[in-house]
Structure 1
Amino acid sequence: MSEARTQRSFFDQYLGKLRHVAEIIDLAPEVVEILSKPKRTIIVSLPLKMDNGKTRVFTAYRVQFNDARGPMKGGFRYHPDVNLDEVKTLAALMTLKTAVVNIPYGGSKGGVKCNPKEMSRRELEVLTREYAKALAPFIGPDIDIPAPDVNTDAQVMAWFLDEYNKVVGKVVPGVVTGKPLSIGGSRGRGEATGRGVFFIGLEAASKLNVSLKDARVSIQGFGNVAFNAAKFFYELGSKIVAVSDSKGGIYNPDGLNIYKVMEVKRKEGSVTKYSEAEIISREDPLTVDCDILIPAALEGQITEKNAGNVKAKIIIEGANGPTTPEADKILSEKGVFIVPDILANAGGVVVSYFEWVQNRMGYYWSEKEVNDKLKTIMANAFNDVYEVSKKYNVDMRTGAYITSINRIVDAMKSLGWI
């Protein structure tokens, strides 16, 4: 989570973009109002007896933003900085993300204000089960489907599912996604976001006549999304010239061996221990010489202070909100082609959708089927947004907002909301 901007300003940025799009496509004021306010906000207090015998009370949230296009979808996170404004903003962006890739969902988000790094496994399990019990009346496979997010994983989803099943008195695997394979998870889910970033890279490179073989790719981050994106570009023949983690970055203009870098990180705790590269700061991958930049770490990393130094022709936003509006303007004036987060990193929610579909029909696809379907959806979404951006003569971020908002408006009209 970034300290680069307050969570209040994060929601203000969403509202600013919404109003900008409203002017371009002449949205009615009531539509803007609906898309400015969540449908439902749930705030609960979760008392938990800690291992030391004392009881602590944790504040938990679930914001269900809009369900015009279908059940709401969004992860939940465990983090000490969780607050209502952040959760509300992320729920709004999930509403746009599911619409831009044209899957039949609305958007939601959740979180518990806690520090999971200071909690035992038992404490995390009990907290998860209390959260599931509190949310049970408001969620379900036809209402709102949670998923993993920051500091929550397949194990947390399994605990959540088990507690929900107890509350409702039956087994409902489709109530959450991102589950272990053994209880209804989908093949391909772990790599889905990074693979989606790669598929978007294929489409962007094709449109801009950039050859990905020997293309120089710089990646800020080296977590799940960053590593998987790096792996797919590397296997295609691209040169991964820089990566970073929380302790710093590494740079080699001749390219890094991604698998060796990951081996070093796993053994020694940081990419900076890799010997065949120059050590740089964790921000430096944003401004090294490269053809494609993938910010896949935190919010608010490309700002008005460093945007002028970005050398990439293409930026694919693997992280949520890595580019500030001020930086967006600078990069746009420089002619940088930016694929926005709500499109670029939607691979995870697409495969979550596949998991939900498989749960509901009780039949499970091979990993190849999942990956082929993901590629089709990501390619179609990219081309839809590209065509809209050309039609309105706007950048890809604005094009993505227009595409998603038009789809949400069409659904609201059909339902008689507007």
Structure 2
Amino acid sequence: MSTVYSDIVSSDLYTQQVKKLERVAQILSLDKDVVDSLSQPERVIQVKINIKGNDGTVKTFTGWRSQHNSALGPYKGGVRFSPNVTQTEVMALSMMMTWKNSLLGLPYGGGKGGIRVDPKSLQKDELERLSRGYVKAIYNYIGSDIDIPAPDLNTDPQIMAWFLDEYVKVSGKVDFASFTGKPVEIGGLSVREYSTGLGLSVITKSAAEKFMDGIEGKRVIIQGFGNVGYFAAKFIKEMGGKIIGVSDSKGGVINEEGIDADKLMEMKRSGETVSSYEGKKVTNEQLLTSDCDILIPAAIENVVNKANASHIKARMIVEGANGPLTADADEILRKMNVIVVPDILANSGGVVGSYVEWANNKMGEIVEDEEAKKLIISRMERAFSSMYSEHERRFSDYDLRTSAMAISIDRVVKASKLRGMM
């Protein structure tokens, strides 16, 4: 993807988020000055990072940290390494994190960061120097009570370990709660690895109980079999659901007898593709419109759109990815009476896992992994119940996505006004 095209895509993501905010603002009867305030991050930091490459040349990279809103607490959100990331993209994503954290009742505002880099083009030691350079450039603006970064696209526990170590060196603060998604040896929790997939499965189960008499025996298709898709499939099967279809970037498979997520993951780790699993071979496009009870798009954005929405056969869609449905698809599916559980709720298990890790670091490492898992499950169940109650009480004329955004934005506005920020 070219830089110019990337800028257009990222700018459009930000524009779409502002449009969604403006639509909800009308429902909540918010003044224009309130909307203008929420449309802009409180701070955007841009940094230049120079590192010495292994070939002796100096490599220059641009990074950002967008801190959208702190009315409910310190900023919280991941850092992505991508050749296509832009300032407007991290601005949009930080806004989305504000709404997500608010909806989940977490004591956080929204933040997001990124470095424009193809991490595959760097050797491990170069990647370490880049990671440390980023933290050295922004350390005055982060910390466990200010802004808590976490893994995101192309970042992982090792990068969080480098972040933490550099932060301690340059700030002089031995504060392990300043980053989440860390290795377990330095304050991380193993539950963080699967918390997004776990949360997604809990929301799927809760929604199935509300809208289709429970998850037991329901036929589920998951588009995207990475970390999130795998763990969602594993937990949904444990809850009584039946995984009949999955896919990765190279294609998918349908098996009405059921798909064993662990067996399929073993095949993937040995170099095979998802479509190597026994069953009917399908493309990603065919998988999305295959017959099922529940469809979980857990890969990339905009996969359900104006072109294919009318062909969806699922009774309910649970958004495992960020923005897998376009606005046109939303409208079509609404008319078809297909229930859509929005991403702002469905895929928020990751930040709940980060919250548990952050709180555990703050308290002095007193939570064990099994207790952490129970905390994530209870928090997700409570979030769904609270959201649906508010939906029925105040926003029953609207779909779940609109209700979820209205609830979260309303909380941020009230907190901002109480604090005198608006």
Band the TM-score falls in, shorter-chain normalisation: over 0.9
Quote the residue 2:339 is aligned against: 337
Quote the residue 2:249 is aligned against: 246
Q: Select which of 101, 122, 132 maps to 2:104.
A: 101
Quote the residue 1:395 is aligned against: 399
Q: Tell me whether 1:404 sits opposite 2:376 in the alignment.
A: no
Q: Tell me whether 1:150 sits opposite 2:131 in the alignment.
A: no
Q: Distance in 2 between matches of 1:292 and 1:199?
A: 14
The DSSP-based 3-state class of the residue aligned with 1:11 is helix
Q: Distance in 1 between matches of 2:167 and 2:26?
A: 43
Q: Select which of 134, 137, 143 maps to 2:137.
A: 134
Deviations 1:158-209 (A, max 9, x none): 0000000000123110110000111001241111000001110121011113
Equivalence map 1:230-269=2 (5 Å): 230-269=233-272
The one-letter amino acid of 1:216's match is R
The DSSP-based 3-state class of the residue aligned with 2:407 is helix
Quote the residue 2:374 is aligned against: 372
The one-letter amino acid of 1:180's match is P
Equivalence map 1:186-335=2 (5 Å): 186-274=189-277, 276-335=278-337
Deviations 1:89-110 (A, max 9, x none): 1000000000000010000000
**How far apart are residue 52 of structure 1 and its match?**
1.2
Quote the residue 1:413 is aligned against: 417
**How far apart are residue 269 of structure 1 and its match?**
4.1
Q: Select which of 48, 64, 77 maps to 1:74.
A: 77
Q: Select which of 381, 384, 397 maps to 2:383.
A: 381
Moved more, 276-285 or 347-356: 276-285
**How far apart are residue 398 of structure 1 and its match?**
0.5
Quote the residue 2:34 is aligned against: 31
Quote the residue 1:11 is aligned against: 14
Q: Distance in 1 between matches of 2:175 and 2:367?
A: 19
Quote the residue 1:90 is aligned against: 93
**Segments ≥4 residues shifted beyond 4 Å:** none
Q: Distance in 1 between matches of 2:285 and 2:161?
A: 36
The one-letter amino acid of 1:402's match is A
The one-letter amino acid of 1:120's match is Q
Q: Distance in 1 between matches of 2:256 and 2:113?
A: 41
TM-score under structure 2 length normalisation: 0.96
Which blocks of at least 5 consecutive residues in structure 1 are unaligned? none
Conservation of the 8 A alpha-carbon contact between 1:205 and 1:212 = yes
Identical amino acids, percent of aligned pairs: 47
Deviations 1:140-162 (A, max 9, x none): 11110000000000000000000
Q: Distance in 2 between matches of 1:383 and 1:394?
A: 17
The one-letter amino acid of 2:413's match is V
Q: Distance in 1 between matches of 2:363 and 2:406?
A: 33
Which blocks of at least 5 consecutive residues in structure 2 are unaligned? none
**How far apart are residue 253 of structure 1 and its match?**
2.2
Conservation of the 8 A alpha-carbon contact between 1:187 and 1:370 = no
Conservation of the 8 A alpha-carbon contact between 1:265 and 1:273 = no
Moved more, 230-239 or 321-330: 230-239
Q: Select which of 187, 195, 202 maps to 1:184.
A: 187
Q: Distance in 2 between matches of 1:282 and 1:121?
A: 33
Conservation of the 8 A alpha-carbon contact between 1:73 and 1:146 = yes
Deviations 1:186-238 (A, max 9, x none): 24111100000111012101111333222100001011111000001122332
Conservation of the 8 A alpha-carbon contact between 2:144 and 2:177 = yes
Conservation of the 8 A alpha-carbon contact between 1:220 and 1:283 = no
Q: Tell me whether 1:172 sits opposite 2:175 in the alignment.
A: yes
